[in-house]
Amino acid sequence: MAPKTPAQRTAPRGATAARTTFRQRFDSWREHHKEVALESLRRLLATPLPTAMTILVIAIALSLPAGLYVMLKNAESISEDWDGSAQISLFLNFNTQEQQGRKLAAELARRDDVKRTEYISREQALAEFEAQSGFGDLLEELGENPLPAVVVVYPAVTDLTAAESLRTDLDQLGEVDLAQLDAQWVQRLYAILDLGRRLVVALSMGLALAVLLVIINTIRLAIESRRDEIVIVKLVGGTDAFVRRPFMYTGLWFGLGGCLVALLLIQTVLWWLDEPVQTLSALYRSQFELSGLGLRVSFLMLLGSVVIGLVGARLAVSQHIRAIEPG
Amino acid sequence: MIHFHQVSKRYDNGKEALLNINFELDQGELTFLTGHSGAGKSTLLKLIMLIERPSGGRMVVCNQDVAKVGRSAIPYYRRQIGMVFQNHQLLFDRSVYDNVALPLIIAGYRPRETGRRVRAALDKVGLLDKEALNPIALSGGEQQRVGIARAVVNKPQVLIADEPTGNLDPELSAEIMDLFDQFSQVGVTVLIATHDLGLIARYDHRLLSLDQGRLISDGFDRPDHLQPHLHERGF
Ligand SMILES: Nc1ncnc2c1ncn2[C@@H]1O[C@H](COP(=O)(O)OP(=O)(O)OP(=O)(O)O)[C@@H](O)[C@H]1O
Ligand SMILES: [Mg+2]
């Protein structure tokens, strides 16, 4: 049979490609992505039980650090209104006369960062000590009152650092032997909160890794189950990106779905805790209200989860798709 | 369109599947590739598809030196070549239409253009009314035609087929051969690997014969034992 001349051939592919504009190509690209995304979703929904289990595992792993974070945030808001509970005790030196001490207390009360002050004379201090400790006899035997006079300063500032700097300030005064900030429980709480914050970070990293591994494994199985299809796609000219794409969307859906369920879980737990917290808060005559994750953090969490999904998919795909070749 | 110059293929296990193969196929030529089982027919087609790389020699396909086609360029290279498989390699999780549309979707055609071309290809193989069915619901011959529609939907310059009539009776084989003939009429270079000697005898196409990985004949003559078939056809 004689070969045909080129003129007899139908238009080659290249001619069509040249006719399509950038805009058209972009449209078809976008259309294709939409299709692939929906197709990936359909595939996940076609096997509801395994999908739900994977999503739930991801959700639980995400809601642990997020839940801890919410707890911390609420604890922080409690510690923010410690107002009134902290006080600075100024122990005056022994050669300060009572009159001098009262004058100092009055002066300090006029400061902006001080709400009010209280003067406790040496005698009052002794009486209080005797009443509270029951060691009165012991002190009597000493013969002399060992207690100094005290000016109790109630700071007007409500945060711990400001209170601390006020204390340092007052410690410089000539009459003052020792200035002591009594906010130990706040300080302890701060230390616990700091610990908690580190715990959230460590937990987040550990569980993010767990989510990543779950996604990698799930997608590895998905790739394995579509081996034949991948071979055919490669044979008819599918690029690595094309082969990768549905799995990337699978990762994205897992990340998104897992995070949404995690947010739902946290919200449910908050709602469940709300009533006892209200009761407790009323008992303390506090205005305290449970707050949730907040829009910004929820959004960041969603973003992070999607990124983990995509990274996991990408890792799984680059590990396995190259190995699946026609042959 | 396809040019083999001293091409050899030795598999990793040391098996010499092809040895110093030389031939040239022009545009629009329809050629049979035959030989005993294990002669190297599939290997030769795999070299053209870049499923395997030659271990020696030079191959030029569609004016491209195949040795210069890197891994990332393989998909674009393959889009110029349609391949038909014996076991047709269809996907049973989607319709006939979606199977045929796959190469176009991969190549990034717009939906409207895709629809037009898929219907044209299905029309060509006579399966336009089956586009919505799952290929599992089709007969063997119909499935093979879906495979052919998929191979040509992208208007490839080269069409290669490995035992395309392997499981089909002579009548269906003739239908399939008619299709290949029509593609070669419009300028597609067609290479068909087959050990169906009856089929080869019934047509007067060029014949490449392999034996133990060597090309032992190239031309329009038929082996002697097939001569009676040729007289039947009044050739
Ligand atoms: N991937 C491989 N690795 C090692 N040897 C192989 C591989 N593929 C094929 N072979 C060997 O190469 C030789 C040619 O095989 P090929 O599949 O090309 O033959 P064929 O002509 O297509 O045979 P058939 O008619 O049975 O399909 C055979 O001896 C086969 O065992
Ligand atoms: Mg073979």
Which of A 9-38 lie inside 8 A of B, CB atoms?
9-13, 16, 20, 24-25, 27-29, 31-32
Kindly calculate the radius of gyration of chain A based on its CA atoms and give it in whole angstroms: 35
Residue ranges of E strands in chain A: 87-92, 114-120, 150-155, 176-182
Q: How many residues does chain B have?
A: 235
Residue A14: band (very low, low, confident or very high) from pLDDT cuts 50, 70, 90:
very low
Q: Look at residue A288 and give its three-state secondary structure.
A: coil
B206 lines ligand 1 (CB under 6 A): no
* Per-residue pLDDT at A83: 53
Residue ranges of E strands in A110-167: 114-120, 150-155
Half-sphere exposure of A320 (CA within 13 A, CB side): 23
B42: CA distance to ligand 1 center in Å?
Answer: 7
Which positions in chain B have a beta carbon within 8 angstroms of at least one beta carbon in chain A? 26-30, 46, 49, 51-52, 72, 75-80, 83, 89, 91, 93, 102-103, 105-111, 113, 150, 154-155, 157, 184-188, 204-206
Best residue of A1, A22, A226, A245 to probe chain B, by most B CBs closer than 10 Å: A1
Span A49-103, pLDDT tens digits:
999 999 999 999 999 999 999 988 888 777 665 555 678 889 998 888 888 889 9
Best residue of B1, B53, B89, B114 to probe chain A, by most A CBs closer than 10 Å: B89
* Per-residue pLDDT at B136: 94
Separation in Å, CA of B168 to nearest CA in chain A: 22
- Candidate from A87-96, A142-151, A292-301, B93-102 with smallest mean pLDDT: A142-151
Residue A2: band (very low, low, confident or very high) from pLDDT cuts 50, 70, 90:
very low
Protein residue with least CA distance to atom 10, ligand 1: B17
B42: CA distance to ligand 2 center in Å?
Answer: 4
A327: CA distance to ligand 2 center in Å?
Answer: 12
Q: Which chain A residue is nearest to residue B103, measuring alpha carbons?
A: A236
Contact B75, A239 (CB under 8 A): yes
Residue ranges per domain, chain A? 27-80+189-320, 87-182
* ipTM of the predicted assembly exceeds 0.95: no
Residue A11: band (very low, low, confident or very high) from pLDDT cuts 50, 70, 90:
very low
Average pLDDT, chain A: 84
* Per-residue pLDDT at A75: 81
Span A164-221, pLDDT tens digits:
888 888 888 888 888 888 766 777 777 888 888 898 899 999 999 999 999 999 999 9
Does the pLDDT value for residue A138 go beyond 80?
no
For domain A87-182, the question of CATH label 3.40.50.150 is answered with no
Contact B142, B88 (CB under 8 A): no
pTM (whole model) above 0.80: no
User: Which domains does chain B possess?
Assistant: 1-53+70-80+157-235 (3.40.50.300), 90-155 (no CATH)
Of the listed ligands, the closest to the CA of B162 is: 2
Q: Nearest 5°: phi and psi at B107?
A: -80, -5
From the CB of residue A31, how many other CB atoms can be counted at a distance below 10 Å? Answer: 14
- How large a percentage of chain A has pLDDT more than 90? 41
What average pLDDT does the segment A14-33 reach?
70
Protein residue with least CA distance to atom 17, ligand 1: B42
Can you give the pLDDT of all 235 residues of chain B as single tens digits? 899 999 999 999 999 999 999 999 999 999 999 999 999 999 999 999 999 999 999 999 999 999 999 999 999 999 999 999 877 789 998 999 999 999 999 988 888 889 999 999 999 999 999 999 999 999 988 999 999 999 999 999 999 999 998 878 888 888 889 999 999 999 999 999 998 888 888 888 999 999 999 999 888 877 665 555 554 444 4
